[in-house]
A and B are shown apart, each in its own frame.
Chain A
Amino acid sequence: MGKRIGMEVGIAAAEAVGLCNIDVAAVYPITPQSHIAEHLSDIVHDGRIDAEFITVESEHSSISACVGASATGARVYTATSSQGLMYMHEVLPIVAAMRLPVVMGNANRAIAGPLNIWNDHSDIMNQRDCGWIVMHAENGQEVIDMTIQSFKIAEHPDVMLPTVLNMDGFQLTHMIEPLEFPTQEEVNKFLPDRVPFATLHPDKPVSMGCFNMPEIFTETMKVKDTALINSKKTIIKIWNEWGKQFGRYYKPVETYKSKGAETLILTVGSMGETASVAVDEMKKAGKSVGLVKLRLWRPFPLEELRAAIKGCKTLVVMDRSVTFGGIGGPVATEIKSLIFHDKDRPRIINYLMGLGGRDVTVEDFISMVERAAKKKDETYEFYGVRE
């Protein structure tokens, strides 16, 4: 294990990719992902790794080129954000259905309109039903670790699915943090070469992407669903392997001082760091508050979430994205439906906050928890709106 150095997280993401012996990267620049694109091209152009870097003319082509390259058996990487991810959207379900282990980094940013380049989760939440493994990093170290883990998870023969690692745009990608990189030898030990299931090569010709008639399409959809559900087991296994080798353990649902707490805050992504400070403050003030952080969004870790929120009275779900039309945010909506029949389930209060780069401070978290206690029904609220 190397020593700690100060580095911008976006650059660290590219450095982590550089440790993974990729064969092809196809990246189109977009704020706030651009430092990943720039630094990865530096790594390739300086000859530090042996890979093809395709400077595509759009995100639609970056994901398409990744599909083509991955289908030849190559290890591939792409990164994007916001409008770029939206532009890829058409191809995303196809990558999952073709069971190609494309690894993507997504610098979370609001989607237009109106145009806004700052952080929220509306980009990834709009891709919810594509069939990808969706993970969220909370800090720079997790970005490094989870980038490397992503390749192993995606390419594992029991998984063979694309993964997207979310890192909050600016709030995370542009932070300079103290970071620890594994050595090349350590990564080589953790991450074996990809062993593809089938490849595009004349030695053994196969046809990929054949269309489905109604007689078989439903079955294909079930297989895709089952594959994603089943991947959770392998994801946890690989996270444990990482923990054993590097001493940092990862779980689908992380908890912070949650045991016995009457009220739990639930966060996704980098806001978990701020929320944990808020929990400390509230604990100091004698309040029974804890924190639950969703690391894995797809496949949804239902059992792990149930265990994490067991016994709490109020669950305050922080959504950085809006499901327009009267049902709140996507995270709260899903949790509500998933635990609807659970006995003694907590009351769920939903805040739509931190949209389009709006800062969410320690005080904001404290204020939201206090207001949640006073709410009579399970409603959602745009927090901090100036009316």
Chain B
Amino acid sequence: MNTVENFEIFAPRLIDKRELFCPGHRACQGCGEVLALRLIMKALGEDTVVSNATGCMEIVSTAYPHTAWEVPYIHVAFENAAAVGSGVEAGLKALRRKGKIADRYVKSVAIAGDGGTVDIGLQALSGAMERGHDLAFFCLDNEAYMNTGIQRSSATPFMAATTTSPAGKAIKGQRTGKKNLPEIMVAHNIPYVATACPSYPIDLMNKVEKARNIKGPAYVHVFSVCPTGWRGASNETIKLGRMAVETGFFPLYEVENGKYRLTMEYTEKRRPMEDYLKLQGRFRHLDPADIAKVQALVDKEFRKLMHKVETSVPWS
């Protein structure tokens, strides 16, 4: 039962005080991902079944015989959270229809990191979304394989240093830009796609609530600051998340039935990327020319998004 039925009139003091993802887990200090997860669970409520991919959140929360989960939870493997979640949805639907379980709506959600979503989990995710399951998928994107030791993924940003895209003498970090997964999800013609960041908790919870209430496939891409992997200070998680959004590097928006809408306002002049980059060790090898290249890429992606915001119309 959700305490708050309508998040549109939602205020911080109305947030459910119960923790469905409990303290005592083993996440790093300042982990943005675990903060996002905690808020997601508060917005989802207890009538939820979680299918979790292998990754940081699975490892920190379920060392047998311990669990941080107050809702039904299943972990199977790395790449198949969406497939497991679609099986959970189908199972619950059939059992409810046949009167074998209580006649009550229970939401199936799948949660994975960026590797389990944009790389190894992409096929299962694409299949689940295309099939139209009543499944909400949350990607907790910390921009690399943090659980295995900070290796690059296709969600790693341009020029970031990771342990497999190091800042070398010949090649300066990640050679490609971030794969635009929200865009790929929009191309699946699903009713709801959003980006979110726990630095904007109310916006995040609103989007989670929307994803939950859509009786169909929904996808929320959650920017999750990783002080450990980004070589940042653990007390600057919220600040880094805000900067990623303010620079337009990770804009907050949602796509409802094909209609793009920014969920925060941008002024003509966005915060420069340099502010964001200089707080992180993974970008410390960047010289002014590199920073200009990163800025140009961010500007280009932002323009593409703004074009969609201005021109897109809803399918229905």
Residue of A nearest to B47 (CB): A202
Contact B124 A60 (CB under 8 A): yes
Contact A205 B70 (CB under 8 A): yes
| B89: A residues at CB distance < 8 A | 68
Residue of B nearest to A95 (CB): B76
Contact A64 B83 (CB under 8 A): yes
With an 8 A cutoff between CB atoms, is B69 at the interface? Answer: yes
CB < 8 Å neighbour of A57 from B75, B76, B108, B126: B126
With an 8 A cutoff between CB atoms, is A71 at the interface? Answer: yes
With an 8 A cutoff between CB atoms, is A115 at the interface? Answer: no
Contact B95 A207 (CB under 8 A): no
B96-104, B225-233, B298-306 - interface stretch: B96-104
Given contacts A61-B80, A64-B80, contact A72 B62 (CB under 8 A): no
Contact A213 B64 (CB under 8 A): yes
Interface string of B98-135 (1 = CB under 8 A from A): 10111000101000000000000001101110110000
Interface string of B60-89 (1 = CB under 8 A from A): 001111110111111111011011111111
Summarize B's interface: helix, strand, loop or mixed.
mixed
With an 8 A cutoff between CB atoms, is B256 at the interface? Answer: no
| B46: A residues at CB distance < 8 A | 202, 205
> Measured between alpha carbons, how far is A51 from B47 in the docked complex, in Å?
23
- B134 smallest CB distance to A (angstroms): 11
Given contacts A61-B80, A68-B85, A200-B88, contact A206 B130 (CB under 8 A): no
With an 8 A cutoff between CB atoms, is A212 at the interface? Answer: yes
- B117 smallest CB distance to A (angstroms): 15
Given contacts A54-B87, A57-B130, A201-B106, contact A73 B95 (CB under 8 A): yes
| A55: B residues at CB distance < 8 A | 131
With an 8 A cutoff between CB atoms, is B48 at the interface? Answer: yes
CB < 8 Å neighbour of B76 from A50, A76, A91, A205: A91
> Measured between alpha carbons, how far is A202 from B72 in the docked complex, in Å?
6
Contact A210 B75 (CB under 8 A): yes
| B313: A residues at CB distance < 8 A | none
CB < 8 Å neighbour of B87 from A51, A60, A67: A67
| A64: B residues at CB distance < 8 A | 76-77, 80, 83-84, 87, 124
CB < 8 Å neighbour of A60 from B51, B58, B80, B100: B80
With an 8 A cutoff between CB atoms, is A70 at the interface? Answer: yes
Contact A209 B76 (CB under 8 A): yes
* Chain A stretch 198-227: residues in CB contact (< 8 A) with chain B: 199-203, 205-213, 216
> Measured between alpha carbons, how far is A74 from B86 in the docked complex, in Å?
13
Contact B91 A205 (CB under 8 A): no
> Measured between alpha carbons, how far is A50 from B97 in the docked complex, in Å?
9
| B84: A residues at CB distance < 8 A | 64-65, 67-68
With an 8 A cutoff between CB atoms, is B90 at the interface? Answer: yes
With an 8 A cutoff between CB atoms, is B94 at the interface? Answer: yes
| B80: A residues at CB distance < 8 A | 60-61, 64, 91
CB < 8 Å neighbour of A70 from B91, B124, B130: B91
CB < 8 Å neighbour of A206 from B72, B97, B108, B128: B72
| A74: B residues at CB distance < 8 A | 90-91, 94-95
With an 8 A cutoff between CB atoms, is B214 at the interface? Answer: no
With an 8 A cutoff between CB atoms, is B56 at the interface? Answer: no
Contact B88 A68 (CB under 8 A): yes
Given contacts A64-B76, A200-B49, A201-B106, contact A209 B91 (CB under 8 A): no
Residues of A within 8 Å of B, CB-based: how many?
Answer: 46
> Measured between alpha carbons, how far is A248 from B140 in the docked complex, in Å?
55
With an 8 A cutoff between CB atoms, is B197 at the interface? Answer: no
* Chain A stretch 36-58: residues in CB contact (< 8 A) with chain B: 50-52, 54-58
Residue of B nearest to A61 (CB): B83
With an 8 A cutoff between CB atoms, is A69 at the interface? Answer: yes
Contact A210 B67 (CB under 8 A): yes
With an 8 A cutoff between CB atoms, is B59 at the interface? Answer: yes
| A57: B residues at CB distance < 8 A | 123-124, 126-127, 130
> Measured between alpha carbons, how far is A69 from B131 in the docked complex, in Å?
16
Contact B67 A71 (CB under 8 A): no
Given contacts A61-B124, A202-B48, contact A66 B106 (CB under 8 A): no
Contact A65 B83 (CB under 8 A): yes
| A67: B residues at CB distance < 8 A | 74, 76, 84, 87
- B111 smallest CB distance to A (angstroms): 13
Given contacts A54-B131, A74-B95, A205-B71, contact A212 B83 (CB under 8 A): no
| B90: A residues at CB distance < 8 A | 24, 26, 52, 54, 65, 68-69, 74
CB < 8 Å neighbour of B86 from A50, A65, A201, A212: A65
> Measured between alpha carbons, how far is A206 from B80 in the docked complex, in Å?
20
Given contacts A207-B69, A211-B64, contact A71 B88 (CB under 8 A): yes
> Measured between alpha carbons, how far is A54 from B132 in the docked complex, in Å?
11
A24-B90, A61-B83, A72-B95 are known; give 14 further A-B pairs, CB within 8 A. Answer: A26-B87, A26-B90, A52-B94, A58-B124, A60-B124, A65-B84, A68-B76, A68-B89, A72-B101, A90-B77, A202-B48, A203-B102, A208-B74, A216-B64
Name the 5 nearest CB pairs between A and B, nearest first.
Answer: A68-B87, A57-B127, A72-B91, A65-B87, A69-B91
